[in-house]
């Protein structure tokens, strides 16, 4: 693929026929999200699986067992469980990847229409090439990144929704250049001579720099191209019958593919600790194997134990290398004790997480009836992480609030106004007061109703015709759409007070007056404002701008600045979202200079953003202050109770908002995040090193000095780097939000929660869990998370406990058999065949061999009963399933052992356990030993449980007692 600074796209692939032109090679239009292919699945999947410590460990053990030297156990004891685990995991991952292949094939095989050879041809999406002219109809998605050439609208515009890309549900308007907008038929498009020059692909959805050169009658006309001209793959066409566009980015080079961030595999703290435990137990295993090997050679230092009369060595054994013999014995002990590492732990944990995740979706307390939405689990790997969260980072708008903006107050020329029954009424007056509207009020309303990116959707019966065709210039069938709910609320508010915006696209209409839209100075996070340049009906050019207080007031030269600033602070303290509005009138010469600079900056292929920022700064100055607005975003239900519950649980909550810090404090107070008695510390606008050091020192000192007073901390973006000095080093974090702008923090946090809000589904799709309302977070963390953590922690500890109980008798048995690597556990207990050497320090006889298996069976029976009853002791809540599994496990062991040892199986190589178990159970002393040993093993656990329950009961145990034995009241 060619990777120069820019790419040249010849529309309809009309390459120049002169010179030595070599066509650039571009990516095809296939989307590939799958991980494997038929050819690389086995090696790639095996490589990934054996990166797990447990799998790699058992692979080594299996290779040792299949070595030529005899080992105490059969390779099947490690190979079969390993094969089962690897196979099950591979099937699961292969199935998931097959689903991705299936989804890719559906996308790549979708039918599309392209203009080729003078006609409209249907083909598959994967066959689109860079330079092809593609036709897209209403409600269809764009199959590639297209530069808009024309539409069925006379002005060459179209409306799209990008909800699948950035979560924004509003309709956005995109434009074609005038020279191509007239090409609305296949024949005219086929005759179009044009070249698009643009930047190479990048992931930023909102950045596109290019230009189109159209040749008409031998003259080349150059027009700038920006994000408003680019139709992104995955976006959907709305309110437009059809459009034609030229493909500039295809396949994996489209912005959707480049912007797609595959969610990194998050691992819970428990899973990380499991790896740590495995390493620790591996160390224990190595220690036991080395100790056993050393003790074996210590015993064999005496000739009677090294070469007894019944086990004479061969010449080869006498002459073999001592080092090789030591290594061989060490590996034999390693194999003998290898079951201290639980190979089935990962599979069991994943199964427990998968089945446990269904409880979240089944919980009716997490079901939102109004929207018919239940809690959603996108990954079950982090269930227990929900119960260990220390910090919650939450978005404000749409997460804590309803994201339904309502206009409340405004300040015009230093006077506060409120909306009362469809009228703007100055503070202290009533709606019956005489209408005293003046020039300042009219100009303010014009600015608010025209300075925005609001679009209008008309009912099909109306159609998008001339708005003046409607009575009184307004159609009741039209509906406002906006990328920002603030803008929509303000436009609707001006309509209620009598100033109605009914314009679309290039022409805006206000009170039966036509305003021509000349330029839009788009909003960006650095400027924190947006502006429009309009031409009045009189021909005068005017700029209207609105933005944050800090982005407008420093650039104003007139107006009631001090009063407006006071009113903005008052609005913020009430929890209102504030915007400041201003304007600037241009002379003819000034506008000519502005138009020239904007054209040069927008047609530049290099450093366009920097040049635009410079021009915007040149334009947005010497402003006349008009006023400010205050819009309310209502809090969701039970936000205050939820935050309070999280705070009482010891969880620190950080609310993230783009509002000014006064608004942040006010909202925090209203939602219970801050309390009136709190000491509010502000860490804002800290830029110099000295300021940072002093502020950090002061904050830390004040927090350390006050041990009783609670503190609330307000931090702005410029000072955010200091937060790391005020918090823990590596806390478990949770991020929750509802919009596409929250996706980054949702993916970066240990646990990401998506709110099923009104800003699309991008946050939900990229989250680990999704809930309908913020209030559900309390039960998700404090109930489900708490229980999941207890379950998984108990499960992991129990697994290691079980395996230690299984292998410790084998280790101790080696002291009895002089470290001869003799197994004490029979083949039936491993459910495998074992190969072993017969060794006895006092002589060999049939009765002694029978006694060996009887003793091993007795020990194993005690172990099975003990570890099962241990699980019963640790069980907090009993159901029929618990009873069935617990007592059924013990019953199954007895039934299987009797069945296995009571029949001669012809397909088994050896059957050393024939009738051993029956003989064991027929002995009263064996039953007595089993009962006594089991009671002795479990007695400390029972005593500990009783002791702690009565002397140091937990909150849960106290609640259990209060429910079972409620306090009695006596009446006298």
Q: What is the pLDDT of residues 241-299, one digit of tens each?
A: 899 999 999 998 988 888 665 556 677 888 788 878 888 888 898 898 899 888 888 88
Report the pLDDT value the prediction gives residue 628, as an integer from 0 to 100: 94
> Residue 850: pLDDT above 70?
no
Computed from CA positions of residues 243, 244, 250, 253, in that sequence, does the dihedral angle turn out positive or negative?
negative
Interval 159-183 mean pLDDT:
79
Q: Give, for 839, the enclosing helix (H) or strand (E).
A: none
* Residues 234-243: tens digit of each pLDDT: 888 988 889 9
Residue 156 burial (10 A CB sphere; 0-12, 13-18, 19+): buried
SS3 395: strand
Distances (CA, A) of 715 to 147, 624, 626: 42, 31, 30
Say whether 486 counts as a known binding-site residue: no
Q: How far is CA 191 from CA 14, 184, 387, in A?
A: 10, 12, 65
**What is the reported pLDDT for 26?**
87
Residue 126, pLDDT score: 92
The string of pLDDT tens digits covering residues 796-838 is 888 888 888 888 888 888 887 777 777 766 544 544 322 222 7
396 annotated among ligand-binding-site residues: yes
**Within the chain, how many helices (H) and strands (E) appear?**
32, 33
Nearest CA-CA partner of 196 in 218, 182, 213: 213
pLDDT band (50, 70, 90) for residue 473: very low
How much is the pLDDT for 437? Answer: 62
Q: Is the pLDDT of residue 942 over 50?
A: yes
Top pLDDT among 88 and 775 is at 775
Mean pLDDT of 420-436: 73
The pLDDT value recorded for residue 169 is 64
pLDDT at 840 over 60: no
- In angstroms, rounded to a whole number, what is the distance separating the alpha carbons of residues 749 and 554? 37
pLDDT given at position 461: 43
Local confidence band at 512 (pLDDT 50, 70, 90 cut-offs): low
- Residue 473, Ramachandran bin (φ over 0: left; ψ between -120 and 50: alpha; else beta): left
Percent of the chain with pLDDT over 90: 18
The pLDDT score that the predictor gives to residue 135 is 94
Confidence of residue 846 (pLDDT cuts 50, 70, 90): very low
Q: Is residue 742 part of an annotated ligand binding site?
A: yes
**Residues facing residue 794 across a β-bridge:** none
Better-scored residue on pLDDT, 793 or 828: 793
Whether 546 has a binding-site annotation, put simply, is yes
* Strand 219-225 to 210-216 pairing: antiparallel
422 versus 590: the higher-pLDDT residue is 590
State residue 72's pLDDT score: 66
> Could you tell me where the beta strands, DSSP code E, fall in 229-281?
230-231, 236-238, 242-249
Q: Out of 204-218, 620-634, 665-679, which region has the weakest mean confidence (pLDDT)?
A: 665-679
Q: Any binding-site annotation on 659?
A: yes
Whether residue 30 is annotated as binding a ligand: the answer is: no
CA–CA dist 671, 675 (Å, integer): 9
Confidence of residue 308 (pLDDT cuts 50, 70, 90): low
Question: 466 φ, ψ to 5°?
Answer: -70, 125
Most confident of 70-79, 159-168, 254-263, 772-781: 772-781
Please report the pLDDT score of residue 581 as a whole number: 94
3-state secondary structure of 701: helix
pLDDT digits (tens, 9 = 90+) for 101-118: 888 898 899 999 999 888
Residue predicted with more confidence, 46 or 688: 46
- Higher pLDDT: 950 or 620? It is 620
Tell whether the model's pLDDT for residue 935 goes beyond 70.
Answer: yes
- Give the residues across from 412 on adjacent strands: 415, 627
Burial of 310 (0-12, 13-18, 19+ CB in 10 A): exposed
The residue-averaged pLDDT of 567-579 equals 85
The arrangement of secondary structure in 413-429+438-460+476-633, i.e. its CATH architecture, is 3-Layer(aba) Sandwich (3.40)
Q: Evaluate if residue 844 carries a pLDDT over 70.
A: no
pLDDT score of 734: 92
Which of 488, 585, 483 lies closest to 538, judged by CA?
585
Query: Has 272 been labeled as part of a binding site?
Result: no
397 is an annotated ligand-binding site residue: yes
E strands present in 399-452: 401-412, 415-420, 423-426
Burial class (CB in 10 A: 0-12, 13-18, 19+), 489: buried
| 3-state secondary structure (DSSP) of residue 621 | coil
- pLDDT, one tens digit per residue, over 672-709 is 788 777 777 777 765 555 555 565 566 556 555 555 56
Other CB atoms within 10 A of residue 655 CB = 19
Does residue 349 surpass a pLDDT of 90?
no
Per CATH, which fold does 6-29+128-259 belong to? 2.70.150
637 annotated ligand binder:
no
For residues 401 and 634, give the distance between their C-alpha atoms in angstroms, rounded to a whole number. 5
Q: What is the largest CA-CA distance in the chain?
A: 124
- Whether 506 shows a pLDDT value over 50: the answer reads no
User: What pLDDT, on the 0 to 100 scale, is given for residue 3?
Assistant: 47
pLDDT at 379: 80
Give the model's pLDDT for residue 931: 92
Q: What integer best gives the mean pLDDT of the chain?
A: 80
Q: For the chain, what percent of residues have pLDDT higher than 70?
A: 80
Three-state secondary-structure class, residue 902: coil
Q: In whole angstroms, what is the distance from residue 377 CA to residue 354 CA?
A: 10
Residue tagged active-site, from 132, 166, 329, 395: 395
549-563, 650-664, 812-826: the lowest-pLDDT one? 812-826
Q: Which residues of 499-518 are buried (b: 16+ CB within 10 A; e: fewer)?
A: bbbbbbbeebbbeeeebebb
Q: 43-82 burial, b if ≥16 CB within 10 A, otherwise e?
A: eebeeebbebbbbebbbebbebbeeeeebbbbbbbbbebb
User: Angle 102-107-108 (CA atoms, 0-180°, nearest 5)?
Assistant: 95
The answer to whether residue 395 is catalytic is yes
Sign of CA dihedral 492, 496, 498, 503: positive
Contact 115, 133 (CB under 8 A): yes
Quick one: pLDDT at residue 468?
47
pLDDT for 830 = 47
Neighbouring residues of 865: CB distance < 8 A, sequence distance ≥ 6: 890, 930, 934
The answer to whether 752 is a known ligand-binding residue is: no
523 is in an annotated binding site: yes
The residue-averaged pLDDT of 42-67 equals 82
Across 141-155, 637-651, 735-749, 800-814, least confident range: 735-749
pLDDT (0 to 100) of residue 245:
93
Q: Please, which pLDDT band fits residue 781 given cuts at 50, 70 and 90?
A: very high
Choose among 206, 819, 837, 178: nearest CA to 524: 206
Distance, in Å, from the CA atom of 749 to the CA atom of 735, rounded to the nearest integer, reads 6
**Mean pLDDT of the 518-547 span:** 88
459 marked as binding residue: no
The pLDDT score that the predictor gives to residue 778 is 93
Q: How many residues does the chain have?
A: 972
Q: What is the phi/psi pair of residue 913, to 5°?
A: -95, 10
State the virtual CA torsion across 724, 726, 730, 734 in degrees, nearest 10.
Answer: -90
Tell me the C-alpha distance between 353 and 885, whole Å.
19
| Residue 569 known to bind ligand | no
Q: What is the pLDDT of residue 170?
A: 66
Residue 724: is it exposed, middle or buried by C-beta count within 10 angstroms (0-12/13-18/19+)? Answer: exposed
Domain segments of the chain as ranges: 6-29+128-259, 354-400+635-786, 413-429+438-460+476-633, 825-954
Q: Is the pLDDT of residue 504 over 70?
A: no
The third-level CATH classification (topology) of the domain covering 354-400+635-786 is Rossmann fold (3.40.50)
Coil, strand or helix: which one is 712? strand
Round to whole Å and give the CA distance between 3 and 12.
22
pLDDT at 708: 57
User: 3-state secondary structure string, 320-376?
Assistant: CCHHHHHHHHHHHHHHHCHHHCCCCHHHHHHHHHHHHCHHHHHCHHHCECCCCECCE
pLDDT at 199 over 70: yes
């Amino acid at each position: 693929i060619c990777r120069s600074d820019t790419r040249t796209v010849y529309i309809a692939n009309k390459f120049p026929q002169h010179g030595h032109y070599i066509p650039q090679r571009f990516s095809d239009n296939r989307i590939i999200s799958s991980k494997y292919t038929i050819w690389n699945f086995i090696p790639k999947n095996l490589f990934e699986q054996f990166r797990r410590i447990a799998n790699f460990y058992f692979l080594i053990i299996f290779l040792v067992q299949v070595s030529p030297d005899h080992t105490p156990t059969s390779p099947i004891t490690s190979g079969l469980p390993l094969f089962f685990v690897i196979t099950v995991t591979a099937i699961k991952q292969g199935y998931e990847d097959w689903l991705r292949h299936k989804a890719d094939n559906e996308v790549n095989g979708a039918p599309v229409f392209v203009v080729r050879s003078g006609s409209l041809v249907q083909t598959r999406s994967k066959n689109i090439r860079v330079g092809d002219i593609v036709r897209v109809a209403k409600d269809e998605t764009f199959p590639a990144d297209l530069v808009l050439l024309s539409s069925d609208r006379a002005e060459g515009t179209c409306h799209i929704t990008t909800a699948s890309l950035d979560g924004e549900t509003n309709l956005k308007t995109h434009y074609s250049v005038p020279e191509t907008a007239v090409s609305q038929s296949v024949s005219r498009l086929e005759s179009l001579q044009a070249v698009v020059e643009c930047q190479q692909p990048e992931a930023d959805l909102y950045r596109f720099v290019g230009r189109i050169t159209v040749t008409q009658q031998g003259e080349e006309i150059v027009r700038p191209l920006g994000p408003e001209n680019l139709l992104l793959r995955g976006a959907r066409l709305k309110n437009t019958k059809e459009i034609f566009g030229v493909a500039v980015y295809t396949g994996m080079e489209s912005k959707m593919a480049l912007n797609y961030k595959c969610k990194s595999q998050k691992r819970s703290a428990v899973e990380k600790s499991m790896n740590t435990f495995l390493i620790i137990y591996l160390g224990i295993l190595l220690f036991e194997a080395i100790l056993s090997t050393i003790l074996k050679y210590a015993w064999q230092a005496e000739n009677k134990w090294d070469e007894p009369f019944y086990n004479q060595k061969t010449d080869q054994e006498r002459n073999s290398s001592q080092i090789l013999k030591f290594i061989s014995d060490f590996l034999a002990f390693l194999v003998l004790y290898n079951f201290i590492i639980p190979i089935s732990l990962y599979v069991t944990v994943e199964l427990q997480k998968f089945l446990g995740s269904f409880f979240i979706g089944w919980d009716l307390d997490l079901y939102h009836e109004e929207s018919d939405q239940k809690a959603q689990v996108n990954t079950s790997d982090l269930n227990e992480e929900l119960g260990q969260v220390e910090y919650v980072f939450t978005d404000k708008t749409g997460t804590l609030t309803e994201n339904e903006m309502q206009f409340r107050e405004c300040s015009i020329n230093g006077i506060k106004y409120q909306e009362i029954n469809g009228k703007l009424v100055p503070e202290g007056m009533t709606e019956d007061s005489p209408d005293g509207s003046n020039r300042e009020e009219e100009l303010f309303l014009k600015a608010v109703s025209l300075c925005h990116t609001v679009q209008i959707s008309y009912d099909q019966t109306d159609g998008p015709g001339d708005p003046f065709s409607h009575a009184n210039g307004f159609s009741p069938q039209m509906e406002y759409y906006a990328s920002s709910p603030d803008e929509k609320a303000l436009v609707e508010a001006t309509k209620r007070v009598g100033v109605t915006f009914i314009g679309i696209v290039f022409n805006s209409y206000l009170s039966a007056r036509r305003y021509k839209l000349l330029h839009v100075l788009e909003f960006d996070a650095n400027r924190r404002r947006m502006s429009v340049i309009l031409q009045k009906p009189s021909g005068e050019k005017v700029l209207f701008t609105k933005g944050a207080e800090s982005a407008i007031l420093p650039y104003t030269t007139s107006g009631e600045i001090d009063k407006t600033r006071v009113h903005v602070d008052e609005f913020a303290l009430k929890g209102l979202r504030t915007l400041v509005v201003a304007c600037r009138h241009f002379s003819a010469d000034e506008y000519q200079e502005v138009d020239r600079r904007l054209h040069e900056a927008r047609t530049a292929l290099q450093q366009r953003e920097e040049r635009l920022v410079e021009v915007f700064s040149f334009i947005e100055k010497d402003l006349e202050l008009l006023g400010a607005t205050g819009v309310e975003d209502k809090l969701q239900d039970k936000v205050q109770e939820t935050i309070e519950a999280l705070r009482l649980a010891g969880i620190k909550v950080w609310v993230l908002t783009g509002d000014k810090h006064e608004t942040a404090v006010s909202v925090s107070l209203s939602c219970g995040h801050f309390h009136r008695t709190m000491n509010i510390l502000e860490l804002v606008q800290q830029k110099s090193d000295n300021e940072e050091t002093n502020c950090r020192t002061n904050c830390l000192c004040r927090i350390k000095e006050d041990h009783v007073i609670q503190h609330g901390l307000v931090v702005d973006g410029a000072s955010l780097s200091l937060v790391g000095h005020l918090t823990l080093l590596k806390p478990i974090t949770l991020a929750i939000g509802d919009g596409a702008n929250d996706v980054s923090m949702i993916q970066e946090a240990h646990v990401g929660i998506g709110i099923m809000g009104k800003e699309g589904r991008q946050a939900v799709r990229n989250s680990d869990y999704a809930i309908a309302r913020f209030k559900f977070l309390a039960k998700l963390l404090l109930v489900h998370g708490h229980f999941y953590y207890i379950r998984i922690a108990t499960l992991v500890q129990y697994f290691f406990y079980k395996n230690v109980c299984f292998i410790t008798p084998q280790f101790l048995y080696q002291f009895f058999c002089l470290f001869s690597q003799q197994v004490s556990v029979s083949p039936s207990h491993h459910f495998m065949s074992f190969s072993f050497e017969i060794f006895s320090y006092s002589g060999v006889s049939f009765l002694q061999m029978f006694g060996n298996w009887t003793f091993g069976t007795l020990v194993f029976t005690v172990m099975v009963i003990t570890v099962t009853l241990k699980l019963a002791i640790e069980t907090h809540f009993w159901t029929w399933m618990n009873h069935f599994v617990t007592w059924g496990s013990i019953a199954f062991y007895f039934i299987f052992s009797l069945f296995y040892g009571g029949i001669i199986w012809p397909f088994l190589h050896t059957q050393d356990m024939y009738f051993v178990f029956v003989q064991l159970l027929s002995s009263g002393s064996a039953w007595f030993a089993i009962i006594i040993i089991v009671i002795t093993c479990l007695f400390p656990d029972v005593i500990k449980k009783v002791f702690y329950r009565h002397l140091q009961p937990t909150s849960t145990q106290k609640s259990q007692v209060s429910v079972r034995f409620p306090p009695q009241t006596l009446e006298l």
